[in-house]
C-alpha cells in the first residue's frame, strides 16, 4: 500500500513538473508533431522528478535553436518560455501549500522552488552567452543600440511596467504579446547574478529602456519605460550598476542638448509638451489643438488636462526612480553629480538669447526641477529648522557642482563695479569647476566635515545632501521653470498683439472692398489667422506643461524656504541671527524679528546669486497672472506671508541688495496681489480675471496669516523703492521708474485706508519729512512725475483733436488704393495717440490721487509746504488749473474723451481738492503765497473762474466751493501786497540775486566745492533729485551747505532800508 501511494505521488509530481515545464513524456501522434507540450524524446525517463528537471529544461530550450525567422516572436522566445516556467512553478507552489499531505507538499514545494531557480539561472545564461538563442535573434541583437536583453527580456518588463507600478504577475494583454514578468522574477535574477555578471544584464536593459522612451510624447506609451525604471532602481544592486554604467555620467557630453538625448537618464526627463525647436515625440501633442476654432472650450480644457495628468504621472514616476537610487549610499553622489552636470551644461539657458538646439529643452529642465522640488519636500518647511543648519553659502563657490563665478550677486550694484565683484571672494574660475566636480564624484571631501552644511548625516561629496538639493533646485528652477514662464508671457503678449492686429485688419477690410488691395489684405489676414492659431496652440501647450497647480505650489513652498534662508543669512551680518531657534508657532515673528538696519552683508552672503530673489518674484507674479487660486491657497497657509515679509525686508536693505532695479522688482510681487479693480492697465502686469484680492487682503490687511512685519515696514519699504527708482541704471530706466512708482502708489493707495499702515505712514512722514528728508524726496518725485505725465496729456490732446478732424474730413477714404492706404495710416496714428494719451493719463491720475491722499493728514502734507517744495507745488496746480478752466480748455475738447481716458472733471476735482487740503494745513498762508509767486500761470481770475465752474458742474460740495473762494481771496490780497513790495524793492543788486531763480535770496548759503552762493530753498530743491553741486558736479549734501551769514545780514539790512522808504 505504501508503495502504491508513493507511486501516485511520484506520478502526481511528474504531472505537475510536465505542466510547469510544458513538456510531455508521451510520444505524440504524427499529426500533433511540433505542437505544445514539447516531447522529451531523449530524456529516457518515464516520470519527471527533481533529479531530471534540469535535463528536461535544457532539452526543451535546445529546441529554440532550430526555430526559423517565420516562427520567432518575443512571446515564443527562450526567455518567454523561462518566464512562463517561473510563473507556472510559482502558481503550483501556491496550490501545493494547500495539500493535506504536508510531507509531500513540502517536497513538492522544494522541487518547484528548484525549478524556478533553474529558470532564473538559464535566463541569465541565455542573456549572457546567447545559449539556446536562434540565429535570427542573435543577428537582431547585433544591431546598433540593441542587445539580447533588449530584444528578449525588455518586452516582458515593459508589459509589467506599463500596466502597474510594480512587476506583478498578470495575464497576457493580447494574443502574442509578451507575458509580464512574474512577481519576484527579476529580483531573483539580480540575487543569482549579483556576483556573476549582473551588469551584463542590467546595463543593456537600462539602455534598452532609454531607447524605448526616446521619441515618445506624453500621449505615447511612456509609462512602460519609466515605470520599469522606477521598479528596477528599487533594487540597490541595479542602482549601483546604473551609476557605474558608461554614459550615465553626463560630465563629458558636448552640450546641454546632448545631456538630454545621449545620457542614460536624459530621455526619461525629456518627456514634455512644452514648445521646443525639435519635435516632442509621437503621437504629436499638437494634434490635440488643431482646428481650434471648431473646438469647444470644454474640449480644449480636456486636452490640456489630459497632457497635464500625463506629465504629473511621469514626474512622479521619475521622482520614485531617483528617490530609490538615492537610498543607496554609494549611488547618491553619482545621482547628485548627474543633476549638477545636466544643469551645468545648460547654464547658457540663463542668457537673454541662446541657441536652443545647443541646450536642453524647456521640458527637460522643468522635469529636472520638478523632481528636485519633490526631493526638497521633506525639508521644505523653514519652521522646523531642518534645512538651515545644513545649507551653506560656501557651496556656491566651494562645492564644485556648478560655476556661478560669473553670475551677478545680490551685493553687486548691477552696473558691474569691480569692488563688488572682488568682494565675493573664493569664487571658482571656470577652469576649476571640472576639477572640483571630479573630486566630489570620487567622494573626496574638499572641506572640513565639521563645518555647517558639510557632509554629516547623509552628505554627498563635500556638502550635505540637503545643501546640494537646495542649490541645485534653485538653479533648475532658474534655468527651467522661470525661463519657461517668461517665454510663456512673451508668447502670450505676441499672441495678443497679433489678435489686435487681425481685428484692425478686419475693421479696415470693408473700406477696401473692390480695390486691388482687398486681395492682398485677405491673403495677409489668412496668414495672420494661421499665426494666431499657432500662438493659441503654443499657449495651451504651456498651460499643460507649466501651469499645473502642484508644480506652482511646490515652487512657492521652495521660494518660501529660499526667502527665509536669505533673511537668516542677511540677519547674521552683526553676530548671531535673530531667527535662530524659531519654533513653528513663531513662524511669522521670525520674519518680524529680523533686523537688517545698520548691518553689512557677511562674506557668506556676498556669494549668493541675485537670481534667487528675482526668481521668487517671477514665480509669484506669474502665479497671480495665470493661476491666482494657487496664491490664495498660499496666503491661507502662511507661505505667501513669509515670502512677502522677506521681500519687504530686502526692498529697503540697500546694503544687501545693491541693485535698485532688483529691489524695485520686488514691488511686482506685492502689486500683483492687488484686486483687479485696484490696478491700472499701464502697470503692464496682466491679471487673471479671477484675481479678487483675497491674497492681498490676507497678507496686507490683517488676515489670519498676515505677516506682522509687513504691517510695520511696508510703507517705509515702498517709499524707499519709490526714491531709488530714480537711479535704476537700466537702459530703459527713464521709463521703468514710472512703472515702479506707479506700482508703489497703487499699493500705498490701497493700504491708506488700513489704520495700521496709515499710522506707520504718518509716523514716517513726521520723522523724515523735514528739510532734505527721504519723505520730502518722495513727494518731490511724485510732483515731478505728475507734472511730466499731465503735461504730456495737455500737449497730445490738441494733436489728437487735429487727427480727429482730419479723419472726419477724410471720410471712408474713397476707393483708390492710395486713399485707402492714407486712411489706414491715419487710423494707425489715431490709435497710437490714443494709447499714449491713455498711458500718460493713467499715470497722471495715479500721481494726483496720491497727492490728494497724502494732503489729507497734516503730517503727510506738511512737506509739500516746505520752502523747497511749496512754490513748485503751487505752480504745478496753477498751471493745470489754467488749462482746465481758462481759455485754453477749448483745445482739450475731443470727440470721445473716454477713448483716451481723459476726464477733465475728475482732474479738476482732484486738483482743487489738493489745494483745499494743503491750504487747510498750511500756516501763514504759505500755499497762497506760493501760488501768487507763480508768474507764469497765476492770475486773480484763475481761482474765481475755477470756483464758478465747480458750482456749475456740481463737482464739489458747497463747503468746498466756499473754501476755495476764501483761498482765492487770500491769494488776491497777497498778490496786491506782492506787487507793492516789488515796486518798493525796485532793482535787486546782483549779489543779492539767486543765480538760478533770479529772485531775491532770503537764506543764502555757500556751496563748499564750487563756492557758489544760492538761496537755501533753491539748492535744497535741487538736491532732492540730484546729489551733486550744479556748478562742478561734485557730491553735495544738504548738511554740507555753509550759511552765508554776512551776506544774509546785508540782504536783511537792504530789505529793511527799502521798507523804511
pLDDT tens, residue by residue, 72-130: 566 678 999 999 999 999 999 999 888 888 888 899 999 999 999 999 999 999 888 88
d(CA 665, CA 740): 8
Q: What is the pLDDT of residues 222-262, one digit of tens each?
A: 999 999 999 999 999 999 999 999 888 877 788 999 999 99
Task: Specify the pairing of strand 23-24 against strand 38-39.
Answer: parallel
DSSP three-state, residue 1042: strand
Place of cell 540565429: 135
Query: Out of 14-23, 641-650, 944-953, which region has the weakest mean confidence (pLDDT)?
Result: 944-953
**Binning pLDDT at 50, 70 and 90, where does residue 269 land?**
very high
**How far apart, in Å, are the Cα atoms of 648 and each of 570, 591, 651, 673, 763?**
13, 10, 5, 14, 18
Q: How far apart are the first and last CA of the chain?
A: 155
Residues written for the chain: 1061
Q: What is the pLDDT of residues 534-550, one digit of tens each?
A: 999 999 999 999 999 99
pLDDT of residue 151: 85
d(CA 860, CA 766): 7
Closest CA to 1026 of 1017, 1035, 1013, 1018: 1035
Phi and psi (nearest 5°) for 1004? Answer: -70, 145
Kindly report the three-state secondary structure assignment for every residue of 614-674.
Answer: HHHHHHHHHHHHHCHHHHHHHHHHCHHHHHHHHHHHHHHCCCCCCCHHHHHHHHHHHHCCC
pLDDT of residue 205: 92
d(CA 826, CA 832): 10
Closest CA to 672 of 694, 639, 653, 656: 694
Residue 473 in grid coordinates: 533646485
Task: Specify the pairing of strand 1004-1006 against strand 38-39.
Answer: unpaired
Are 743 and 663 spatial neighbours (Cβ–Cβ below 8 Å)? Answer: no
d(CA 638, CA 706): 7
Residue 678 pLDDT exceeds 70? no
How is 569-610 classified by DSSP, letter by letter? HHHGGGSS-TTTT--GGGHHHHHHH---TT----TTGGG-BT
pLDDT of residue 1056: 86
Tell which wins on pLDDT, 918 or 701: 918
What is the rounded average pLDDT of the residues 799-827? 77
H/E stretch holding 561: helix 549-571
Residue 450 pLDDT exceeds 60? no
Q: What is the mean pLDDT of the chain?
A: 84
Residue 490 pLDDT exceeds 90? yes
pLDDT of residue 1026: 85
d(CA 856, CA 920): 9
Closest CA to 256 of 354, 336, 144: 354
**Binning pLDDT at 50, 70 and 90, where does residue 730 land?**
low
d(CA 815, CA 111): 98
**Binning pLDDT at 50, 70 and 90, where does residue 328 land?**
confident
Are 548 and 626 spatial neighbours (Cβ–Cβ below 8 Å)? Answer: no
pLDDT of residue 961: 87
Residue 436 pLDDT exceeds 50? no
What is the rounded average pLDDT of the residues 289-311? 94
Sign of CA dihedral 631, 637, 638, 643: negative
User: Which ranges constitute the DSSP H helices of 345-391?
Assistant: 362-376
H/E stretch holding 204: helix 198-213
Query: Out of 548-557, 596-605, 812-821, 999-1008, which region has the weakest mean confidence (pLDDT)?
Result: 812-821
pLDDT of residue 812: 57
Amino acid at each position: 500500500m505504501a508503495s502504491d501511494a508513493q507511486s501516485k505521488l511520484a506520478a502526481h509530481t511528474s504531472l505537475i513538473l510536465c505542466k510547469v515545464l510544458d513538456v510531455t513524456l508521451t510520444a505524440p501522434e504524427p499529426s500533433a508533431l511540433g505542437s505544445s507540450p514539447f516531447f522529451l524524446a531523449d530524456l529516457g525517463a518515464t516520470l519527471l522528478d527533481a533529479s531530471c528537471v534540469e535535463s528536461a529544461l535544457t532539452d526543451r530550450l535546445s529546441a529554440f535553436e532550430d526555430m526559423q525567422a517565420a516562427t520567432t516572436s518575443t512571446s515564443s522566445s527562450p526567455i518567454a518560455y523561462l518566464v512562463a516556467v517561473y510563473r507556472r512553478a510559482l502558481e503550483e507552489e501556491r496550490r501545493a501549500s494547500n495539500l493535506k499531505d504536508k510531507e509531500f507538499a513540502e517536497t513538492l514545494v522544494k522541487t518547484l522552488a528548484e525549478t524556478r531557480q533553474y529558470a532564473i539561472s538559464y535566463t541569465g545564461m541565455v542573456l549572457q552567452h546567447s545559449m539556446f538563442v536562434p540565429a535570427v535573434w542573435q543577428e537582431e541583437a547585433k544591431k546598433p543600440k540593441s542587445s539580447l536583453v533588449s530584444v528578449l527580456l525588455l518586452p516582458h518588463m515593459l508589459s509589467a511596467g506599463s500596466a502597474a507600478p510594480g512587476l506583478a504577475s498578470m495575464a497576457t494583454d493580447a494574443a502574442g504579446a509578451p507575458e509580464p514578468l512574474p512577481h519576484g522574477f527579476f529580483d531573483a535574477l539580480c540575487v543569482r547574478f549579483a556576483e556573476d555578471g549582473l551588469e551584463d544584464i542590467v546595463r543593456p536593459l537600462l539602455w534598452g529602456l532609454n531607447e524605448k522612451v526616446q521619441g515618445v510624447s506624453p500621449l505615447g506609451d511612456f509609462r512602460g519605460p519609466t515605470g520599469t525604471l522606477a521598479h528596477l532602481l528599487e533594487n540597490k544592486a541595479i542602482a549601483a550598476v546604473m551609476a557605474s554604467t558608461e554614459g550615465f555620467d553626463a560630465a563629458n557630453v558636448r552640450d546641454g542638448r546632448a545631456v538630454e538625448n545621449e545620457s542614460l537618464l536624459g530621455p526619461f526627463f525629456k518627456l514634455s509638451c512644452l514648445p521646443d525647436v525639435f519635435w516632442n515625440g509621437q503621437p504629436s501633442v499638437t494634434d490635440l489643438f488643431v482646428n481650434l476654432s471648431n473646438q469647444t472650450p470644454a474640449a480644449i480644457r480636456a486636452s490640456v488636462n489630459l497632457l497635464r495628468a500625463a506629465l504629473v504621472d511621469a514626474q512622479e514616476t521619475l521622482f520614485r526612480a531617483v528617490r530609490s537610487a538615492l537610498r543607496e549610499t554609494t549611488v547618491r553622489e553619482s545621482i547628485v553629480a548627474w543633476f549638477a552636470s545636466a544643469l551645468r551644461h545648460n547654464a547658457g539657458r540663463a542668457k537673454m538669447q541662446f541657441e536652443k538646439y545647443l541646450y536642453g529643452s524647456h521640458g527637460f529642465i522643468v522635469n529636472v526641477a520638478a523632481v528636485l522640488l519633490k526631493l526638497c519636500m521633506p525639508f521644505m518647511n523653514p519652521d522646523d529648522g531642518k534645512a538651515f543648519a545644513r545649507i551653506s553659502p560656501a557651496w556656491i563657490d566651494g562645492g564644485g557642482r556648478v560655476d556661478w563665478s560669473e553670475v551677478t550677486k545680490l551685493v553687486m550694484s548691477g552696473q558691474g563695479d569691480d569692488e563688488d565683484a572682488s568682494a565675493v571672494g573664493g569664487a571658482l574660475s571656470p577652469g576649476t569647476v571640472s576639477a572640483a566636480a571630479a573630486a566630489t564624484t570620487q567622494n573626496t571631501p574638499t572641506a572640513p566635515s565639521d563645518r555647517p552644511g558639510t557632509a554629516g548625516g547623509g552628505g554627498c561629496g563635500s556638502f550635505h545632501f540637503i545643501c546640494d538639493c537646495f542649490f541645485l533646485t534653485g538653479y533648475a528652477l532658474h534655468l527651467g521653470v522661470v525661463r519657461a514662464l517668461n517665454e510663456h508671457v512673451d508668447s502670450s503678449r505676441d499672441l495678443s498683439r497679433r489678435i489686435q492686429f487681425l481685428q484692425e485688419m478686419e475693421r479696415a477690410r470693408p473700406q477696401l472692398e473692390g480695390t486691388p488691395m482687398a486681395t492682398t489684405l485677405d491673403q495677409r489676414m489668412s496668414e495672420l489667422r494661421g499665426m494666431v492659431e499657432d500662438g493659441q496652440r503654443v499657449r495651451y501647450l504651456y498651460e499643460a506643461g507649466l501651469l499645473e497647480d502642484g508644480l506652482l505650489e511646490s515652487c512657492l513652498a521652495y521660494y518660501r524656504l529660499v526667502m527665509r534662508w536669505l533673511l537668516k543669512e542677511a540677519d547674521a551680518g552683526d553676530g548671531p541671527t535673530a531667527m535662530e531657534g524659531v519654533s513653528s508657532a513663531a513662524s511669522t515673528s521670525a520674519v518680524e524679528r529680523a533686523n537688517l538696519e545698520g548691518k553689512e552683508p557677511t562674506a557668506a552672503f556676498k556669494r549668493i546669486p541675485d537670481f534667487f530673489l528675482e526668481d521668487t518674484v517671477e514665480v509669484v507674479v506669474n502665479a497671480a497672472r495665470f493661476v491666482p487660486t494657487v496664491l490664495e491657497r498660499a496666503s491661507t497657509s502662511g507661505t505667501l506671508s513669509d515670502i512677502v515679509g522677506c521681500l519687504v525686508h530686502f526692498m529697503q536693505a540697500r546694503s544687501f541688495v545693491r541693485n535698485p532695479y532688483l529691489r524695485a522688482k520686488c514691488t511686482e510681487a506685492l502689486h500683483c496681489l492687488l484686486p483687479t479693480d485696484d490696478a491700472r492697465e499701464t502697470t503692464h502686469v496682466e491679471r487673471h480675471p479671477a484675481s479678487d484680492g483675497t491674497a492681498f487682503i490676507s497678507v496686507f490687511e490683517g488676515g489670519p496669516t498676515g505677516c506682522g512685519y509687513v504691517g510695520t515696514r511696508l510703507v517705509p519699504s515702498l517709499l524707499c523703492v519709490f526714491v531709488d527708482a530714480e537711479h535704476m541704471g537700466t537702459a530703459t530706466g527713464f521709463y521703468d521708474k514710472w512703472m515702479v512708482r506707479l506700482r508703489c502708489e497703487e499699493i500705498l493707495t490701497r493700504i491708506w485706508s488700513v489704520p495700521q499702515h496709515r499710522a506707520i505712514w504718518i509716523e514716517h512722514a513726521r520723522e523724515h519729512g523735514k528739510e532734505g528728508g527721504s519723505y520730502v524726496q518722495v513727494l518731490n518725485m511724485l510732483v515731478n512725475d505728475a507734472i511730466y505725465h499731465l503735461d504730456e496729456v495737455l500737449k497730445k490732446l490738441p494733436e489728437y483733436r487735429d487727427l480727429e478732424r482730419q479723419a472726419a474730413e477724410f471720410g471712408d477714404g474713397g476707393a483708390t488704393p492710395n486713399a485707402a492706404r492714407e486712411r489706414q495710416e491715419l487710423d494707425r496714428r489715431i490709435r497710437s495717440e490714443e494709447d499714449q494719451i491713455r498711458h500718460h493719463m493713467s499715470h497722471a491720475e495715479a500721481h494726483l490721487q496720491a497727492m490728494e491722499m497724502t494732503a489729507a493728514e497734516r503730517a503727510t502734507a506738511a512737506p509739500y509746504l516746505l520752502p523747497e517744495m511749496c512754490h513748485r507745488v503751487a505752480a504745478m496746480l496753477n498751471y493745470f488749473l489754467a488749462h482746465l478752466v481758462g481759455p485754453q480748455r477749448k483745445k482739450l475738447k475731443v470727440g470721445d474723451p473716454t477713448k483716451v481716458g481723459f476726464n477733465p472733471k475728475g482732474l479738476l476735482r482732484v486738483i482743487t481738492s489738493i489745494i483745499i487740503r494743503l491750504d487747510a494745513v498750511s500756516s501763514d498762508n504759505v500755499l497762497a503765497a506760493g501760488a501768487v509767486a507763480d508768474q507764469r500761470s497765476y492770475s486773480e481770475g484763475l481761482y474765481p473762474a475755477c470756483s464758478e465752474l465747480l458750482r456749475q458742474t456740481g463737482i464739489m460740495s458747497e463747503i468746498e466751493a466756499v473754501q476755495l473762494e476764501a483761498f482765492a481771496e487770500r491769494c488776491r490780497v497777497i498778490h496786491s501786497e506782492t506787487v507793492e513790495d516789488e515796486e518798493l524793492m525796485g532793482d535787486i543788486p546782483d549779489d543779492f540775486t539767486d543765480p538760478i531763480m533770479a529772485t531775491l535770496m532770503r537764506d543764502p548759503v555757500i556751496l563748499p566745492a564750487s563756492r557758489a552762493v544760492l538761496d537755501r530753498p533753491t539748492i535744497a530743491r535741487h538736491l532732492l533729485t540730484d546729489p551733486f553741486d550744479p556748478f562742478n558736479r561734485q557730491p553735495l549734501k544738504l548738511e554740507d551747505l555753509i550759511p552765508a551769514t554776512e551776506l544774509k545780514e546785508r540782504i536783511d539790512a537792504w530789505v529793511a532800508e527799502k521798507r523804511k522808504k
